[in-house]
Amino acid sequence: MSDRDEARTAEESAAAAVAAELIAGIREIRRDLQISDGPWEWLRCLSDWKTA
């Protein structure tokens, strides 16, 4: 394996380890979510508080 291939493998393996950790974190958060929680609702909250 060339040095470049080895470096690429090291990067991919480091990235996979971090991604697995992040995915596990979201799995925990998901238990807290309800079907009505929309992905852009946070923008509406911020806008409402601005004019409050």
Please give the size of the binding site for other proteins, defined by CB under 8 A: 30
Closest CB to other proteins among 5 and 40?
Answer: 40
| Binding of residue 2 to other proteins (CB under 8 A) | no
Continuous H helices in the chain: 3-30, 41-51
SS3 of residue 52 by DSSP: coil
When asked if residue 19 is in the footprint of other proteins (CB under 8 A), the reply is yes
Q: Which residues bind other proteins (CB under 8 A)?
A: 7, 10-12, 14-19, 22-23, 25-26, 28-30, 32-33, 37-42, 44-46, 49-50
